Structure 1
Amino acid sequence: MFELRSNQPASRWQMPAETAPHDATWMAWPGSGYTLGESAAEAEIARATWAAVANAIVAREPLRMLVPPHERPHARRLLDPAIELHEVRLDDAWYRDIGPTFVVGADQHGGPALGAVNWVFNGWGQQDWATWEHDAVASLVATSASCAHRIDSPMVNEGGGIHTDGAGTFLVTETVQLDPGRNAGWTRQAVEDELARTVGARKVIWLPRGLTRDSEKFGTRGHVDIVATFADRGVVLLHEQRNDAHPDAAVSRELATVFHGEHDAEGKPIEVVALPAPTQLRDAVGWVDWSYVNHYVCNGAVIACAFDDPADAEAREVLAAAYPGRDVVQIDARPIFDRGGGIHCITQQQPAL
């Protein structure tokens, strides 16, 4: 069994809430394989959707995009000129997962410092359809370009596998952090100790699993960022599938019970706010995992998923109430979900110091 126990003092690093001010957002451009699709038309849909997300964000904060060299002309054609491009070979465009997790702390002189946690990435648990030869390098490129202090971790993890309130409370799922394909032999305590060291976790709330489709062959095995997130300290937005015909209805109820009576790191009771699932239940592949939880909070706005679904309007209202003072910008996320993720999965915040 892997036990990473220690009596070391509290971490010098803390992962801020996504709602805290950002210096920039990082993304990665789709450049090959399933993220582009099997035809020129599918590739153009992917590029246009990634660009729509990036252009909405750069209107509010700087955006830095990793771009495979052969895709630079397409990226420059579709992206706002204000977006900064960094050429690098990539296997995937899920920057939340292949890039570092940014944290803040103090340098040796007591001044503010930016850190970047370099998790081990192994293709979402060594899945046979995934490649990740170049993705590990992508994390280091962003670390260097942001002038962040590199924090290496022995834990296999992805940014989509954690959510925080910015005050030491974290959401994770057993099926990701304790996945034998990721961290064989690790215990809950080992994971919690490593999260304490790297991102300043003081309280970890363990969810048993994620959504049904995300647990199937081409999923992440249960990322938390598609099912639950913190809108504020003590406030969790939770995916609510209201139709019992969808297996995620049972998942939603199970997860809701986990939060019942739960508290954050400060002892504040957790309030759960339901974020409805889209009414569409299936696509050509099977049960959809479309989720409004998979949104991105940037400076002054929420970049939210839309699905051309009757629930889009209600989700917009819930998000507007959850993030007062921010614009809610909805973008059709179906092309991203068709490729295995959502808007949150393709973005990563660099917090302001």
Structure 2
Amino acid sequence: MSWRMPAETEPQEQLWMAWPSGGYTLGETDAEAHEARAAWAAVAHAALRFEPVTVVVRREDRAIAAAYLDARIGVVEAPLDDAWMRDIGPSFVTDDDGRLGAVDWVFNGWGQQSWASWEHDSAIGRSVAQAARAEIVTSSLVNEGGGFQTDGQGTVLLTESVQLDPFRNPGLTKADVEAEFQRTIGARHAVWLPRGLTRDAKEFGTRGHVDLVAAMPAPGALLVHVQTNPEHPDHEVSQELLEVLHASRTADGKPWQITEVPAPEQLHDGEDWVDWSYINHVAVNGGVIACSFGDPQDEKALRLLADAYRGRQVSAVDARVIFARGGGIHCITQQQPRVGIR
């Protein structure tokens, strides 16, 4: 059997999310908890305009989730540690016979981070796969959905600091990782980035998720996060990543059409350099749910996304509350492809 992970822009059956349940995602006060719940709900409602949405909710949180979520949003009960569905959930794949599969990666708290817990989240991939009635594709690779991007045509973007992280996959080589991606999602060509954004590499980050720095809006096309202000350490990072991507090719040996998407003008949030990124959006049927930041660059970035995703309506959701908790809109969502359509 040959599995393929469709591009995010291919037809979708539904979008999956997880409900904020506790820990740093909810915060320490009732006001912070409301802020988080309202932000996750805003993304769910934005996506619901385009396709069905299902949210995984802890049994004890079902009533409070119902107070925030439209009744049309599906609910699946399961224990949760956190709410980053892109990372804890499965990566859905299909085959030529029209079957739906779900890659169940090993999740270990973004490389055994000291602040993370993953007793329940490590089982969410299997729980969501079963709820979606997908065939489970078991993988021994420690990996998260935000740690790679695929065009559905054989190319996958990876990061050396994630898949080769000694706290994730000690002893594995690039060849080992690439073979597993070929087996599980049908990727026959890998483009390796050396690292991710500065803040994402620090204590409360993922050590370099791809979905903050590059997205694939169409075959052969890349949207790339670029920090234009030399005061921000990501200025150097983004220039390095651009060099790597310009030198790389697709699985078909063609150069990328690269569109640079400038970072927000705001550099710092009072705690650290921000890793705010317009790249961390999610494509849905006929639309794109995009991050906004109340920043002067919002309008330009949303226009670039609209140009890249021709024919799709770009809907912006203020993502500052989500980023304050460690990620963006792409990080809290996971698309389930429609089977039998390519």
Secondary structure at the aligned position of 2:55 is classed as strand
- 1:198 aligned to 184, 193, 206, which one? 184
Equivalent residue number for residue 235 of structure 1: 221
Q: Specify the code of the residue in structure 1 equivalent to 2:103.
A: V
How far 1:229 moved relative to its partner?
A: 1.1
Worse-superposed segment, 206-215 or 137-146: 137-146
Paired position in structure 1 for 2:332: 346
Do structure 1's residue 309 and structure 2's residue 299 form an aligned pair?
A: no
Deviation at 1:261, TM superposition (A): 3.3
Distance 2:84 2:108 in 1: 13
Which residue pairs with 1:6 in the alignment? none
Secondary structure of the corresponding residue to residue 112 of structure 1: coil
Equivalent residue letter for 2:91:
T
* SS of aligned partner of 1:90: coil
Q: Deviations over 1:1-53 (max 9, x none)?
A: xxxxxxxxxx6000000000000110000000011011000000000000000
SS at match of 1:181: coil
Correspondence for 1:267: 253
Residue 167 of structure 2: aligned partner: 181
Quick check: 1:16 aligned with 2:9? no
The letter of the residue matching 1:83 is I
Give the whole-Å Cα distance in 2 for the aligned partners of 1:167 and 1:285.
Answer: 40
SS of corresponding position for 1:151: strand
Give the count of matched residue pairs.
339
Mapped to 2, the partners of 1:138 and 1:80 lie a distance apart of: 23
Structure 1 residues 201-350: aligned runs within 5 Å: 201-350=187-336
Task: Write the deviation string for residues 170-228 of structure 1: whole angstroms up to 9, x where unpaired.
Answer: 10100000000000000000000000000001110000000000000000000000011
TM-score, normalized by length of structure 2? 0.98
Describe the superposition over 1:231-258 as per-residue Cα deviations: whole angstroms up to 9, x where unpaired: 1111110001000000000001000100
Q: Out of 63, 76, 79, which is 2:66 matched to?
A: 76
CA distance in 1, matches of 2:219, 2:255: 10
Percent identity between the two aligned chains? 56
**SS of aligned partner of 1:260:** helix
Partner of 1:168: 154
Choose the corresponding residue for 1:103, options 87, 93, 102. Answer: 93
**Partner residue, 1:7:** none
2:127 to 136, 141, 147: 141
- Other structure's SS at 1:91 match: coil
For 1:261 and 1:220, locate their aligned partners in 2 and report how far apart those are by CA, in whole Å: 25
In structure 1, stretches of 5+ residues that fail to align are 1-10
Equivalent position of 1:125 in the other structure: 111
Distance (whole Å) between structure 1 residues aligned to residue 216 and residue 312 of structure 2? 15
What are structure 2's unaligned runs of at least 5 residues? none
Q: Aligned residue for 2:33? A: 43
Distance 1:98 1:86 in 2: 15
Matches of 1:35 and 1:139, distance apart in 2: 20
**TM-score, normalised relative to structure 1:** 0.95
Is 1:66 the counterpart of 2:52? The answer is no
